[in-house]
Structure 1
Amino acid sequence: MKCPHNAHIALVDGERFVVMRNTGQIFEPKLEKVAEPKLEATNFSAGVKHQDPVSQRKGETDLNELAHATAAAEWLNQQAIAGEFSDLVVIADPKTLGEMRRHYHKELESRLAGELAKTLTNEPTEQIEKAIVAA
């Protein structure tokens, strides 16, 4: 995947949200941590579509995780609208990424350089860089 120089990378899972920036080149990313915003999960209606009986029995639905994904998307929307970044790569586990996509603002969508449906929030920076190159 192409990761433009100075692009921001959002690493998100159901509990953690980390923002990094690419200080390297487009095909040789070098990531540095920019922030780890503390989010207030307030939109618990986010997981309503996941409330089918099968998911509930299997324990596959966690409204707190889905609300966290929504809060991360809302934070990114605010940053995009404010012009805080020009390019963004979102890396999140598949369920989180799916929930985030439902809340993307058009301004955020216009700045998306790519998405990667993978859980990498707790991986070392080198592993994240390799995953971006391989995508």
Structure 2
Amino acid sequence: MPAIKIPHDALILIGDGEKALFLRNRGHAQRLDLVIEDVLQQDNPATREQGTDRPGRSFANAGTRRSAMEQTDWHRLGEQRFAIDIAEALRRHAQAARFKELIVIASPRVLGNLRKAFHRDVSDRITGEIAKELTSHPLADIQSLLTA
């Protein structure tokens, strides 16, 4: 994992398409002491469990040509909406001056969605990013992975 210095009192976001952990470093860059401040969760089942319709077909204005429409990926849309919710929560925290420095750790696709959704107040405070999925790890493992 890339080495990122996590200063005292920095906010760390660890997120994926269904869960976001907001951690605070109460320790120092050399000796982390991560504390969970908040958890956001969203139920986002697989597309096959959300969508019931088959993909549609469209017909050309002239002639007999038809073309298939791609099936909607409801799971991916849920991830995008959740990234917007996370970004909005961080914007409120930034505007209330609840953090000066932010480290973002998220799965690659979610990290991309977050980058698009972040307000400038949040983007300006990001001091590090890691494209990795860590939400399923216990806090002790996350802490040791970030100090390694």
Which category of TM-score, normalised to the shorter sequence, fits these structures? 0.7 to 0.9
Distance in 2, Cα, partners of 1:105 & 1:62: 21
1:29 to 32, 51, 54: 32
TM-score, normalising length: structure 2: 0.71
Mapping of residues 19-98 of structure 1, within 5 Å: 19-37=22-40, 62-98=76-112
Structure with more strand by fraction: 2
**Partner residue in 1 for 2:16:** 13
Deviation track 1:84-129 (CA, whole Å, cap 9, x = no partner) reads 1111111110000000001111111121121111100110112212
- Gaps of at least 5 residues in structure 1 are 40-55
Please give the residue correspondences for 1:105-120 in structure 2 after superposition, counting only pairs within 5 Å.
105-120=119-134
Q: Distance in 2 between matches of 1:79 and 1:17?
A: 15
1:61 positional shift: 6.0
Name the CA distance, whole Å, in 2 between partners of 1:38 and 1:93. 15
Q: Is the Cα contact below 8 Å between 2:83 and 2:117 reproduced in 1? A: no
Instruction: Find the aligned partners of 2:10 and 2:92 in 1 and give their Cα distance.
Output: 16
What root-mean-square deviation, in Å, do the aligned CA atoms of Structure 1 and Structure 2 show? 2.1
Which consecutive residues of structure 2, in runs of 5 or more, have no partner in the other structure? 43-69
Aligned amino acid, residue 36 of structure 1: V
Cα distance, 1:23 vs. partner? 1.0
| Corresponding residue SS for 1:108 | helix
| Rounded Cα–Cα distance in structure 1 between residues aligned with 2:41 and 2:78 | 14
Query: Would the aligned equivalents of 2:22 and 2:38 in 1 still touch at CA under 8 Å?
Result: yes
Percent identity of paired positions between Structure 1 and Structure 2: 34
**More off after superposition, 21-30 vs 124-133:** 124-133
